[in-house]
Structure 1
Amino acid sequence: MKLIVADDESLIRASLVSMIQDMESEWDIVGEATNGEELIELVKQHKPGVVIVDIRMPKLNGLEAMRAGKDISPCTKWIILSGFSDFAYAQEALKLGASEYLLKPVDPVELEKALHQTAKYDLEFMRLLNQQFENSLFALCHGLTSLRSEDRNSLFYRGFFVGASIVFDTAKQGNEIPDLTCQMYDDLRKGMNDALIHGNQFALLALPNGELATVGAWDPNTGAGGKERVQRFFQWLELKAACYHPDVQITVLRTCECLGFEQLNVQLQQLQSRSSLRALCGVGGTIARSDLEAASGSPHKTKLSGLLNSLKHHLQARNFLNYQAAVNELEHVLLNKELLSPEEKRSVNRFLSFTVGVSLVEDASPDVMIRSLRQLGETVLLDKKQKDPLAGDLAEQVIQYIENHYMDDIGIGQIAHQLQVTANHLSMVFHKKAGVTFVKYVTNIRMQKAKELLLNTNLQVKQIAEQVGYYSTRHFTKLFTEHYDSYPSDYRKIHLGNVMK
């Protein structure tokens, strides 16, 4: 959100600007004014969201500038600064519609509270705070930061959360499916923005296994509105997923309602580890965590669902030997005396139809299923030529891409789109090759580059953050501190100091 600072004392202006730049939320300070006339010109030019103005200024005082500014930019909010002797002026400012009133010298905590209170109902500000929430949640889910780095009064400790892992299943190949995945991402982002109000937060992120996830959270102290909007968003998500595209089955794996991030994270990890069970629970709908937990109690069903999912990944990798080995093992598992229910059989047939392209009648026997899968392997996999772009080492291509683009906003889904594979498959292949998840690998590269810039240049921390791919200095600092157990500025002082000795 755009912000203007107006005070005739340069030291006070510099102090205010420094306080604002150190805040968790990123304000766009578009101008500084030394008198009321300068302030009016800046308001005309920028139409800011918030103005912080001293009551006593040359040419036009704060009250006069506020009267004129409200005519120029009616949506601008005003925060008034004054001393004890200006109490009558402050009362007049509040009558004119000032949002907040602060005494000099300004306390940083009180200033941040005033800015949050002033802007909390502004959509642009809510989205700014929501982006910060999403950044922090992403870092926590991927183990880049720990919960101890978050304020004890934050939503991550006292808020309520609901999450969902969103899994795409299709037998289609080529650019069409990644395009559909990106479209779903855009639709989800729009849906979250529409549901965002004061008191709730949303996040859209890739989980460590590459699957897309969405999370809603609400503050229990702001009434029922936040919870209701989160619930309505997830109802909308489930309806949208159920009828998204005839060639794609989107399965929504839902957590329970969780108190705090720790509970949410445990349940999201469970959803990832049990995702393959959708082959038996049914793709193309919503599956509650409790249903996945019940299905996971059967070792036979867990092994069967894992094998069914492996067929999909072997097809994508064009790995004939592993595919046929999985089919052979699947045949052995299907001979087990523990029978599937009619509904589970239908779910398996539906899963195979939408993952490997084998169409089976509802009551097809295991023999028919195995024969069809073997035929598919012979006709599809063995016919693939060396020119197939998927025949190369996907992980090496990803590593090379990261080396060239670590400073950009990159994700596993974006790279999977370019390589024409699913994000889940690419994430699995990369983790096996690199030994760490995609996100941790990218973060390690960025932190290493940041360390080099700190020690070999005079760039400011904010500039270094931007050069290695972070546009929130606070978020970069949090990650760097977690990585090296030192603030970036302290790291530079300590290590350059040691060099000088």
Structure 2
Amino acid sequence: MFMGSRTVWTFDSWNREHGLYLDCRSSSNCARKERHSMRIMLVEDEPLFRKGLAKMIAGSGTRWTVCGEAENGQVAEQMIPELQPDLVMTDIRMPAMDGLQLLKQTKARFPSIEFIVITGYQDFYYAQTALRSGALDLLVKPCSMQDIFDVLHKVEVLLAEREAVARQAASDKQLLLENTLRAVMLRFPYALGMLEELKGMPDSYRLLMIQIMDFFPVHRAYRKQDVSLLQFSALNIIGEMMDIFGITGTLLGIESGRFALLFDASADEEPFVEAACRTVQQLLGLPMSAACSDLVGEWTQLPDVYESLLEKMKASISVDKANGQEAALAINRARQQLISAQLAAFFSSGQIDAMKSYLEQHALEISSINEEAWRIEALSLSFALQDTMRKQFGQESDSLSLTDRISKLHDCHGKDEAGAWMKEELERFWTAFQAWQNRHSAGAISRAVRYMQERYTESLSLQQVAAQVHLNATYFSHVFKKETGFSFVQYLLEMRMEKAKQLLANTDMNITEISGAIGYDLPNYFAKLFRQCTGLSPKEFRKQNQI
């Protein structure tokens, strides 16, 4: 039996329960609505240490941004529910509420929030208690910048692994649910334990059936062994049209050449159906037919509704049963969606090197599996790449290219040829990425500078500004220095100092007010930076330059 799927409803809701946000309907949210940065909260009663730590993290070029600061655990406990940080870095000894109590109470309410505890050598007992209470690691004062970066990297790796596991679990759960839906419609046995999940489906939906009418049109030289690849391709194209037309629902393969879409009853399906049939015809040369039900009240009605639509379509379907042979291989579209989700996560967080390693490793794994299965897996990878190119790079599908690539894929024999085919697909993807990057970086630095000018009073990080112009932090840092002659941190410092000079020369604001007005909470820290940049203290500069 042919099996494949495209989902929004249940996959999406399950992930919300687990702290992930998946939505296949939007280009910006195709997988996890992942923060461009990871959020850290600093809890420390020594203002100089806390502010210095915040500045260091802001200018580090890492994915971490400081979302909040608190002078003790009591204040932090009030802020955490709203800020929902990924990580809390807290001192142990503080007034009102110490870090150990904050750790225990926060972990009881928000177990996914990680803790790094800052302690002194004399607090070894408390440090041991912190680890037993769920702290991920310790920092012992005095701690170096490298110590802090090392522990932040440790948390980053942990969070990435946790998200990957959650995505895989969501995919597995959704695939099981879809298999149940498929079994219900075909009156096959299914797991009774999934009935509660079926009851959780929307109250108001309709069933749309789409059928490939002929796998072997005279103008295309397809072969019987191409059927599984063509079905998978058609399923992906229909799913792409769902994204474009904003159709919310669950798309899955039912039988050979036949797809079912359970979708929101309020949606206007006609433009979507017309576009899906036209696009499959243009890209694959396959004619399709469709029929839609009235409102489906209960999931128990699905078998009858499915069979009535089948009868309705019989008159228009001219498929030779021999031509419409069932695929021998179960096609797991959920796997392709999982790859797309992972690529989107890498892309949104600017982890381009990690994305390269992931794709290379995935291609290597595909080329090592048995020959009967790797063609579908390779095509799944190709469609995940195409999905990313369309959503992230704005690149449309090429009908001739798709047909030629499917033909080439089927003609591949052995690991070497499979590897060569996937290498071409990856090269096509990276060429598109480079073109997008070159296109998008034009004017990006000027936009970044304008953003910095508007927000220089805030705690700006390299990652934050890079995300505003949709470039990964490493590439942005390189281009920024090339175009401006300064590193990001140097440029931001110069910008703030120029503003300080203007305020010192043209206003009566005191040093504390000026310090706050240009983004520095600590006047002494501002004065130190000002002297480093100008050779003068703020007071000396004002005395020489004030009108």
Give the TM-score category using the shorter length: 0.3 to 0.5
Higher RCO (C-alpha under 8 Å, 6+ residues apart): 2
TM-score, length-scaled by structure 1? 0.41
